[in-house]
Amino acid sequence: MHQLLMAVALLMPIKDSSVSGTIELKQEKGFVLVTGEVKGLTPGLHGFHIHEFGDLRSPDGMSAGGHYNPHKKPHGRPAAHERHEGDLGNIEANADGVAKFNLRAMGLDLSKVLGRGLVVHANPDDFSQPVGNAGPRVAVGVIGVAEVKSATAAK
């Protein structure tokens, strides 16, 4: 069995939201590189987390469940030893409402989050307990397997 190397999530707006984006996740040694662009945000910081379920059925995004936390650790900053595995911290939108980011999710195994939800929140994650007080969800997507393209594979 091959190791999962790349995944992608297309973020869809929650009701009364216009937030959308594309997130790529790449497995590296000891971490997952998370890169992307999210549009339609209010300027400033927004909580960004992997959630338990890739369930998009509820219009408010609550069907995605809580933060992905298989080891039952407290909520924390992305660099903290004690944190939910789904704690990715904050992304920052510029004055045009666009957040472009490139972050490392340390210790994350991409194969364990496949099919789970990726959520952007309305407010900043303040890293308080139990889940960071980031407010309502404004966009949600499902982490899916991405095609890995190489220069030689295109021929």
Q: Exactly one of 46, 84, 116, 125 is catalytic; name it.
A: 84
Q: Which of 46, 83, 116, 121 is catalytic?
A: 121
Catalytic residue among 75, 83, 116, 125: 75
Residue 46: active-site member: no
Q: Of 46, 49, 83, 116, which one is the catalytic site residue?
A: 49
Identify whether 87 is a catalytic site residue.
Answer: yes
Residue whose token pair is 């393209």: 149
Q: Specify whether 51 is catalytic.
A: yes
The one catalytic residue in 51, 83, 116, 125 is 51
Known catalytic residue: 49? yes
User: How many Cβ atoms from other residues are within 10 Å of residue 113's Cβ?
Assistant: 25
Determine which one of 46, 83, 87, 116 is catalytic: 87
- DSSP conformation letters of 89-149: EEEEE-TTS-EEEEEEEET--HHHHTT-EEEEESS-----TTT----SEEEEEE-EE----
Asked about 2 being catalytic, the answer comes back as: no
Which residues are catalytic, by number?
49, 51, 67, 75, 84, 87, 121, 137
